[in-house]
Amino acid sequence: MLLVKSKYKIAKRLGAGVFEKTQTPKFALAESRSPRKMSRGGRGGGGDYGRQLLEKQRVRYTYGLSEKQLSNYAHTAFEQANPSEALHKALELRADNAVYRAGLALTRRAARQVVSHGHITVNGHRITTPSVRVKKGDILAVREGSRTSPLFASLAEKAKEGEVRTSNWIALDTDLLRAEVTAEPAYTPGETGLDYATVFEFYSR
State the fold for domain 7-91+191-203: Ribosomal Protein S4 Delta 41; Chain A, domain 1 (1.10.1050)
Length of the chain in terms of residues written:
205
Domain ranges for the chain: 7-91+191-203, 104-181
The Cα 183–Cα 92 span in angstroms is 12
Residue 66 Cα to chain centre, angstroms = 13
Residue 59: the pLDDT is: 96
Q: What is the pLDDT of residues 147-194, one digit of tens each?
A: 999 889 888 777 767 777 789 999 999 989 999 999 999 998 877 889
Global pTM value: 0.78
Q: What is the pLDDT of residues 67-85, one digit of tens each?
A: 999 999 999 999 999 999 9
Residue 58: the pLDDT is: 94
Helix (H) and strand (E) counts in the chain: 11, 5
Query: Fold identical between 7-91+191-203 and 104-181?
Result: no
Pick the CATH number of 104-181 from 3.40.50.300, 3.10.290.10, 2.40.420.20, 2.60.40.420: 3.10.290.10
